[in-house]
Chain A
Amino acid sequence: MFSPPVVRNMSRPRRPASPGALAAPLLGAALLALPALFHVANATPARAEKAATKPAAKAKALPADAATQLVPSYSDSGPEPMLDRIFAAIEQRKLDTALEQTEVLLKQYPNFRLANLIKGDLLLARSRPINAFGALNNAPAEKVADLREEAIARLKAYRQKPNADVVPRYLLQLQSDQRYAIVVDTQKSRLYLYENDAKTGRPHFVADYYITQGKLGAEKSKEGDKKTPIGVYHVTSSLEPRKIGDFYGSGAFPINYPNEWDKRNGKSGHGIWLHGTPSDTFSRPPKASDGCVVLANTDLNQLAKNLQIGLTPVIISPSIEWTSIDDWAKERAELNRTIESWRNDWESRDTDRFLRHYSRRFQGDGQNYAAFAQQKRQVNGAKEWIKVGISNVSMFRNPGKDEMVVVTFAQDYRSNNVNQASRKRQYWIREDGAWKIIYEGAA
Chain B
Amino acid sequence: MRLHSSQTRATTGLQRFSQLRPAAALRPLLTSIALAVSLVAMPQAWANGPANADSLPEIQRLIKQGQYPQALERVDAYIATRPKDAQGRFTKGLILTELNRPADAIVVFQRLTEDYPELPEPYNNLAVLYAQQKQYDKARTALEMAIRTHPAYATAHENLGDVYAKLASQAYDKALQIDSSNTGAQSKLSLIRELISVSGRPGSRPAAAAAAPTPAPAPAVSATTGAAPTVVARAEPAKPAAAPAPVAPPPKVVEKPAPAEKPEKAEKVEKAAEAKPAPKAEEKKADEAKASGDEAGVHKAVQAWANAWSRKDVKAYLAAYAPDFQVPGGQKRKDWEAERSSRITKPGTIQVGVEDLKVSFQGDKATVRFRQNYKSANLKSSASKVLVLSKSGSRWLIQQERVGS
A residues with a Cβ closer than 8 A to B are: 17, 19-20, 22, 24, 111, 113-117, 119-121, 123-124, 126-129, 134, 136-137, 139-140, 143-144, 147
Contacts and interface: CB of A to CB of B under 8 A. Distances in A.
A139 B21 contact: no
Contact of A120 (B147, B160, B172, B378): B172
A127 B159 CA distance: 11
B16 interface: yes
A143 B176 contact: yes
A251 B379 CA distance: 47
Interface in B160-211: 160-161, 164-165, 167-169, 171-172, 174-178
23 contacts: A17-B17, A19-B16, A20-B147, A22-B161, A111-B174, A113-B176, A113-B177, A115-B175, A119-B175, A120-B169, A120-B172, A121-B168, A123-B171, A124-B168, A127-B165, A127-B378, A129-B380, A136-B172, A139-B178, A143-B176, A143-B177, A144-B176, A147-B175
Interface size class of B (residues with CB under 8 A): 20 to 34
Interface string B347-391: 010000000000000000000000000000111100000000000
Given A126-B161, A127-B164, A127-B379, A120 B17 contact: no
A128 B379 contact: yes
Contacts of B34: none
A136 B176 CA distance: 10
A127 B25 CA distance: 11
B13 A19 contact: yes
A136 B175 CA distance: 11
B167 A123 contact: yes
Contact of A117 (B13, B167, B175, B348): B175
Contacts of B172: 116-117, 120, 136, 139
Nearest to A106: B171
Contacts of B94: none
B20 A124 contact: no
Contact of A137 (B13, B17, B377): B377
Given A22-B21, A111-B174, A139-B176, A120 B161 contact: no
Q: Which of B168, B169, B380 has the most CB of A within 10 A?
A: B168
A123 B175 contact: no
Nearest to B178: A140
Given A17-B17, A22-B21, A24-B17, A127 B171 contact: no
Contacts of B167: 119, 123
A22 B176 contact: no
Q: Which of B147, B167, B380 has the most CB of A within 10 A?
A: B167
B151 interface: yes
Pairs of residues from A and B, 4 with the lowest C-beta to C-beta distance, nearest first: A117-B175, A123-B168, A116-B175, A120-B171
Nearest to A24: B17
Contact of B175 (A19, A20, A24, A113): A113
Contacts of A17: 17
Contacts of B20: 22
Contacts of B174: 111, 113, 116
Contacts of B176: 113, 117, 134, 136, 139-140, 143-144, 147
B157 A22 contact: yes
A183 B325 CA distance: 74
Contacts of A143: 175-177
Contacts of B177: 113, 143
Interface in B3-20: 13, 16-17, 20
Contacts of A114: 175
A147 B175 CA distance: 8
A2 to B, nearest CB: 23
Contact of A126 (B164, B171, B178, B377): B164
Interface in B127-141: none
A129 B21 CA distance: 13
B377 to A, nearest CB: 7
Contacts of A129: 380
B381 to A, nearest CB: 10
A117 B168 CA distance: 8
A128 B377 contact: yes
A162 to B, nearest CB: 30
B131 to A, nearest CB: 14
B165 A123 contact: yes
Contact of B164 (A123, A134, A136, A137): A123
B32 to A, nearest CB: 22
B161 A127 contact: yes
Contacts of B168: 119-121, 123-124, 136
Contacts of B169: 120, 136
Contacts of B380: 128-129
A120 B379 contact: no
Nearest to A128: B378
Contacts of A140: 176, 178
Contacts of A128: 377-380
Q: Which of A22, A111, A147 has the most CB of B within 10 A?
A: A22
A126 B140 CA distance: 13
Nearest to B161: A127
A115 B178 CA distance: 15
B93 to A, nearest CB: 26
Contacts of B151: 19-20
Given A117-B172, A120-B169, 14 more contacts: A19-B17, A119-B168, A120-B175, A123-B164, A123-B171, A127-B161, A127-B164, A127-B379, A129-B380, A134-B176, A136-B169, A136-B176, A143-B176, A147-B175
Contacts of A24: 17
Q: Which of A111, A119, A147 has the most CB of B within 10 A?
A: A119
A116 B167 CA distance: 10
A303 B112 CA distance: 52
Contacts of B377: 128, 137
Contacts of A139: 172, 176, 178
B140 to A, nearest CB: 9
A124 B169 CA distance: 9
Nearest to A126: B164
Contacts of A137: 348, 377
B238 to A, nearest CB: 25
A72 to B, nearest CB: 34
A144 B176 CA distance: 7
Interface string B17-45: 10011000000000000000000000000
Interface in B213-260: none
Contacts of B378: 127-128
